[in-house]
Amino acid sequence: KIKELTKDTQKQLPQPGWDRTAQMVTIIFVLPSLPAKPDEPKGPIRFDEIDATTVNCSWDPPVRDGGAPISGYVVEQRDAHRPGWVPVCDSVSRPMFRFENLIEGDEYVFQFKFRVMACNAGGSGEPAEVPGALKYKDLYVVRHGGVVRLSIPIKGKPLPTCKWLKDGGAVSTRAMIASTEDASELVIKGAERGESGLYELLLENKVGKKKAQIKVKVIGRPSAPEGPMIFEEIQANSVKVSWKPPTNDGGSEILGYIVERREAARNAWYTVDSRVTETQLIVKGLKEGTEYHFKVTAENSFGISGSLKSEQPLVPKTPLCKYYFFANSESKPSLRKEMDEVTAKLGQPAVMKCQIVGRPVPEIKWYHAGKEIVESRKYEMSSDGRNHSLSIMTDQQEDEGEYTCKAINDAGEAEATAHHAVCPT
């Protein structure tokens, strides 16, 4: 940093006639460094709508911005058959751009290459280029919900009659057709996937006939993955989930699937994996004995589909064979985990739990103060052969006391007992 020289500092600098061996003052200028240039924009570059003279495209920001905010993008194009890039716009603020007034060549054919560069204070980064050439030849691609607008120049003497067909039959009743001396135009608003197909314009006068064809492709988000959702390889903390691809890919390749899970007792969905490329996934990190719901969504370059949801909740649990594989003979029930004491307030549920196994799978009975409990709205029982639970709706002080879970099979019996305390509200 250079400060303004004062009389005192001037006296300290070498003056004419001073001893040349005197110490010299070295002044170093330190200039601020520029940030690095950003990476190329993240692809793939997506085209949402194409017609003879217009293209909508979008992309994702670069992974690394070079240490400075992205100030904008530079978009360039060139004829696929000629050298030299031509700037289309050097001040694109968002990662999307609409190409308009493209040059239409002979027989309504054109081929263009496009590329995009991200910019920051350090300059323009490397370009992201669309692989191959974007080609239009008797093809009209439009996003689902967009507008199909087919306009074909006509001429002839006498003026020819015009008739539009789709796949050899009548066009949709939603199609609006207008013809003049110079052109015939077909327009469909709010395009649907069913409006994809081969459109023909038939021209005829007393001199002859002529036909023009344009293939229309309506593209958009895919339909939901096909069910049913299948659960296999169920373990205490994991499960294999599988499904089928969507019947309709939206006219664009399926990029992957998003798998989500939700605990039955909660409303929030948790994303397990958002980049699943196959139609199956092993979901880990589950809690044994907890009910889960799952949903799967498909994604293509135009967005995500509706979701396929599991029809029934899944409860992860340890396979029973893990405990019974060691013997083919009968074994009396044995206690694997004691029952814990439970405290609950009046009006709140209390859950008594224990683990008892046996071969064959034992019959489970619950008792309160020595009296057998009958399942009802007040008492709910559940058992998977190993984990046993009793849910009690604590609505009176008399619900307090000793609760016993008794497991019985042909080889014997076992039981677990714990105290349930009731606290006043």
The pLDDT of residue 27 is 61
CATH superfamily name and code, 327-423: Immunoglobulins (2.60.40.10)
pLDDT over 90 (residue 283): yes
pLDDT band at 186 (very low <50, low <70, confident <90, very high): very high
Q: How confident is the model at residue 23 (pLDDT cuts 50, 70, 90)?
A: low
Q: Which class is 226-309 in CATH?
A: mainly beta
Rounded Cα–Cα distance for residues 64 and 371 (Å): 70
Q: Name the CATH topology of 140-219.
A: Immunoglobulin-like (2.60.40)
**For the residues 267-294, what does the mean pLDDT come to?**
92
CATH 2.60.40.10 segments of the chain:
140-219, 226-309, 327-423
Report pLDDT digits (tens) over 109-140.
345 677 889 999 888 888 887 654 444 445 77
Tokens representing 344 are 């609950």
The model's pTM is: 0.42
pLDDT of residue 201: 92
- Judge whether residue 1 has pLDDT over 50: no
Q: pLDDT category, 373, cuts 50, 70, 90? A: very high
Please provide residue 146's backbone torsions phi and psi, each rounded to the nearest 5 degrees. -85, -165
Using pLDDT thresholds of 50, 70 and 90, give the confidence band for residue 101. Answer: low
pLDDT band of residue 270 (cuts 50, 70, 90) is very high
